[in-house]
Amino acid sequence: MQELFVKICGITNLEDAQHAVLCKADAIGFIFYEESPRFIPHHRAAEIVKKLPEHVSKIGVFVNADRKFIHEVVSHVNLSAVQLYGNEGPDDLVNYEASVIKVFRVKDDFDVEVMRNYIVDAFLLDTHKEGMMGGTGTTFNWNLAVAAKEYGKIILSGGLTPENIEEAVRFVQPYGVDVSSGVEASPGKKDPQKVREFIMRAKSIPLYYNQE
């Protein structure tokens, strides 16, 4: 059986990062998009990363960012992976110094076939909401996430909470899950109990198929 990969995203302070790690999060996400209420300057993210265990993945979230800027942040913060929200085509995602997670924002008419040409380490599927890049607090049709598994590792996002995470993992059987607003006390500040509950419940559901 595979262990579910759990990412706590939108981390803005050391206390929340360390609590997530203590609760057995596999990855911490930092948002380097200035319009997000969960934005963190990369120098502050670098300070947090220095105090986290090596085995925890450190993932940077970028929105239509300049490749040079992404490379600089990867190097400065010591990121494990980049999570790219944007208009990148398949040819734009090569030659990164970190693992690449390509994000697709999913509407009801989303065609999973578009994922066929992307060679990346994982896909993250989030809810499409006009004017928002993540943190929507709403779910999408999980049948599309199930269909998307044909094209690679799927990290499920969008409106996940401690209340619905068990149903989501049971239904989709994804490689991983990603949460931000669903475990917050306020934008950019996590609720410790929600983080603990989310991770515990997410990892309580067995994954039955080979995700490699």
27 CB-contact burial (10 Å; exposed 0-12 / middle 13-18 / buried 19+) = buried
Residues contacting residue 35 through CB under 8 Å, at least 6 positions apart: 63, 133
Q: In this structure, what DSSP letter does residue 184 have?
A: E
**Strands of 14-121, DSSP E:** 27-31, 57-63, 81-85, 99-106
The catalytic site residues sit at 9, 126
- Cα–Cα separations (whole angstroms), residue 165 to 103, 155, 168: 20, 13, 5
Residue with tokens 């924002």: 105
User: 14-22 and 42-49 helices cross at what angle (nearest 10)?
Assistant: 40
- Cα–Cα separations (whole angstroms), residue 155 to 3, 49, 72, 92, 146: 13, 22, 25, 20, 11
HSE, side-chain direction, 13 A CA sphere, residue 175:
18
Q: Are 42 and 192 in contact (CB under 8 A)?
A: no
